[in-house]
Amino acid sequence: MHQNAEISALLTLIDDPDEEVFSTVSTRIVHYGKGIIPNLENLWENTLSEAVQERIEMIIHKLHYSDLVRDLTEWRDSAYHDLLFGALLVARFQYPDLQTSPVIQEIEKIRRNVWLELNSFLTPLEQANVISSIVYNYYNLKGAEIAYKNPDDFFMHKVLQTRKGNTLSNGILYLVLAELLAIPVKAINIPQQFVLAFFNEDYDAGTYNGNPQKKIHFYVDATSGQPFTHKDIENYFKRMSVPPAPSYFKPMNAVRVIQVLLEELARCFDEPAKMYKHNELLQLSDLLSE
């Protein structure tokens, strides 16, 4: 962006000790959009003051966040909610310069390897075993307990790079692959868990009025890819002392899955210095409810 007189004036005011002045300057700079980032980066490189550098970093973060709000709003309002694209938007919160093409290409490689092992005669359980064999054994995807000290476990591109994710990110990868392969796998609302369910092919959430559980063949633990049964789910509800209401078995749509991802990721930023990120992630989650 051409550094005109107003931009030059604004940049010289970033080090103003008055917080109100800085707040006004920061807001005005953000109005210029991402095109002003190179100017800010140049200023950062030529600034010796760590305090001023932190201010510049915060302004750049606000610019990226503003851009993310716009893109997530467009995704929310689109006719089709691509789950992978939604997950990559979440990753951009922490990695604003993320290149999505390598992620898409890597997932396509995995999809093709699974597809080569599938055929129309396989039962749903055999399909699940093929997916797990390729994803968790051949690609060696590891699962970890959700650890709020490690936000990278929530980001799709990092999961593919490190071959390690938590139940939520691994589950989203599984859902993306299942959708690409036209296999009816959905995330369901089991309390305090992110559980995948293999549904009957004839199940339609929009028209079926019965208990969705009756349309589920079995469940999958996304952390490890291991299937488990209705009896296992019943035992879980007994341990929780919670009655297994039909609403717990209703599939979550892509928007709701991304909301859960944002809400869980927010818990990684509970320290006072990072609370602004916590609040921003919850604002993004609220945006998807509008």
Give the neighbor-by-neighbor strand order of the sheet with 226-228: 185-188, 195-199, 216-221, 226-228
- List per-residue pLDDT tens for the chain, 290 residues long: 455 777 788 888 788 788 888 888 888 888 888 888 988 988 898 888 888 898 999 999 999 999 999 999 999 999 999 999 999 999 999 999 999 999 999 999 999 999 999 998 999 999 999 999 999 999 999 998 888 999 999 999 999 999 999 999 999 999 999 999 999 999 999 988 999 999 999 999 889 999 999 999 999 998 999 999 999 999 999 999 999 999 999 999 999 999 999 999 999 999 998 999 999 999 999 999 97
- Structure-token pair, residue 26: 């920061």
* Residue in the structure block whose two tokens are 């004839």: 202
* Residue in the structure block whose two tokens are 């055929």: 119
Pairing mode of beta strands 142-144, 164-166: parallel
For residues 188 and 253, the answer to whether their CB atoms sit within 8 Å is no
Query: How far is the C-alpha of 221 from the C-alpha of 236, rounded, in Å?
Result: 13
The maximal CA–CA distance of the chain, rounded, in angstroms, is 71
Question: Within 10 A of 263 (CB to CB), how many other CB atoms are there?
Answer: 14
